Structure 1
Amino acid sequence: MRTITLALIMAINGFGIVPIVRGKKAEPGHRIIIGQQKPEKMEKGAAKVVSDFLTAVKKGDNATVAASLHPNVEWNQPGNNRFSGTKKSSTEVFQMVGGMLEVSAHTLELTDVTVTAVNGNTVACLVHWKAVKPTGAVLDVDNIDVYSVENDQIVNAKVYSADLAQEDGFWQR
């Protein structure tokens, strides 16, 4: 039983075992998955959804941003500031972003997306944000955003900040 379990784990994780399902042998480097979307298709779909979302954020295309977010998206914003915490809907996410734009005098800008890594329906991105308050306070920070995509919409987002102290100081309570 341990051998079968180990073989299944190795096959699922792609360790060189070629699975056979109903007499069909998978091509080298591919896996046969029953009852699920093929990982390659799922990864391309999730990556495209997130790429389109981030491009829309950069361009200020609110219609595409809204269409990319599931109405019940769960958004986890880090830190200890007025915008930190879990948002439980796209409405709450838009309220948070609207508040950020107001506090930053509409200077908040996604300036760069430098890395996108995909694992199934999860996409991690290294992004860079900049903003300047009328007081002269500056936000210039990298974040790692991790998005989960289902049915061509973002259903979960978790943001990791490279500099929480800077973000907390900029956004304040």
Structure 2
Amino acid sequence: MEAKEVVAAYFDALAIGDLEKAFSNFTPETKWYQPGDNKFSGLKNNLGEIFQMLESIMNDTSGNMVVKPAGPMLQSGDLISVPVWFTAKKETKVMDLGGMDLFQVKDGKIVHVWTFSDDQSLDDDFFGN
């Protein structure tokens, strides 16, 4: 599978809430860097830590966090960048922001993810510490 197809398969599975299928595109050693200064920020060193972070985000937002591609995927070697739009609500707070996800794909699997927010301070305020 081509690198873009791997990333597209991840987003397709995420869109229908099939986390098991989404993460079948990762290796057990995949690393994920979550930016900012909030309770979810920092480097996740393996699939277990990534899954735990995303499960915690879904619990924090009562399952309404949505991340979807917002433009074309671009490729440079084994790197795929995807503009994304993410929305979530909790209590009286609403997050409705753009960003960029960068994936490194090797041998048909996502091995590294970096996420970026258009406004990290809003992101940090929404999630808190």
TM class, shorter-length: over 0.9
1:41-60 alignment runs, 5 A limit = 45-60=2-17
SS at match of 2:40: coil
2:58 to 101, 107, 119: 101
* TM, length-normalised to structure 2: 0.95
Instruction: Look up the equivalent residue of 1:137 and give its one-letter code.
Output: K
Q: RMSD between aligned alpha carbons?
A: 1.2
Greater helix share, structure number: 1
1:138-153 alignment runs, 5 A limit = 138-153=94-109
- Alignment-derived partner of residue 127 in structure 1: 84
- Structure number, greater radius of gyration: 1
For residues 1-24 of structure 1, give each alpha carbon's deviation from its aligned partner in whole angstroms, at most 9, with x where no partner exists.
Answer: xxxxxxxxxxxxxxxxxxxxxxxx
1:165 aligns with 2:121: yes
Mark the CA change 1:122 to 1:111 in structure 2 (over 3 Å): closer, same or farther: closer
Q: 4+ runs of 1 displaced by more than 2 Å? A: none
Structure 2 gap ranges (5+): none
For residues 20-67 of structure 1, give each alpha carbon's deviation from its aligned partner in whole angstroms, at most 9, with x where no partner exists.
Answer: xxxxxxxxxxxxxxxxxxxxxxxx700000011111111111222121
1:62-73 alignment runs, 5 A limit = 62-73=19-30
Give the % identical residues: 26
* TM, length-normalised to structure 1: 0.72
Alpha-carbon separation, structure 1, partners of 2:101 and 2:68: 14
Q: Aligned pair count?
A: 129
Greater strand share, structure number: 2
For residues 116-156 of structure 1, give each alpha carbon's deviation from its aligned partner in whole angstroms, at most 9, with x where no partner exists.
Answer: 101111100000010110x1200111111110001111000
SS at match of 2:92: coil
Alpha-carbon separation, structure 2, partners of 1:148 and 1:124: 9
Instruction: Look up the equivalent residue of 2:126 and give its one-letter code.
Output: F
SS at match of 1:81: coil
Q: Greater relative contact order (Cα 8 A, min sep 6): structure 1 or 2?
A: 2
- Alignment-derived partner of residue 117 in structure 1: 74
Check the 8 A contact 1:113/1:127 in 2, yes or no: yes
